[in-house]
């Protein structure tokens, strides 16, 4: 099992960064929504 070429590592790192960005954006959206809900009530 060998998947440690530079291209593989680069692709995996890029995919991980995109996943982190999506997760961070989702968390931020939920956070903002909760704040808006609190202000409305």
Per residue in 1-41, pLDDT tens? Answer: 566 799 999 999 999 999 999 999 999 999 999 999 999 88
Q: Around Cβ 26, how many Cβ atoms within 10 Å? A: 10
Tokens of 9: 């590592």
What's the confidence (pLDDT) of residue 4?
79
What's the confidence (pLDDT) of residue 41?
81
Under DSSP, is residue 1 helix (H, G, I), strand (E, B) or coil? coil
Length in residues, the chain: 41
What's the confidence (pLDDT) of residue 3?
61
Tokens of 23: 């997760």
Domain span at 18? 1-41
C-alpha to C-alpha distance for 17 and 15, rounded to whole angstroms: 5
C-alpha to C-alpha distance for 40 and 8, rounded to whole angstroms: 48
Q: How many domains are contained in the chain? A: 1
């Amino acid at each position: 099992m060998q998947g440690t070429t530079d291209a593989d590592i680069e692709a995996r790192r890029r995919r991980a960064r995109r996943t982190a960005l999506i997760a961070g954006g989702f968390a931020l959206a939920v956070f903002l929504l909760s704040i808006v809900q609190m202000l409305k009530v």
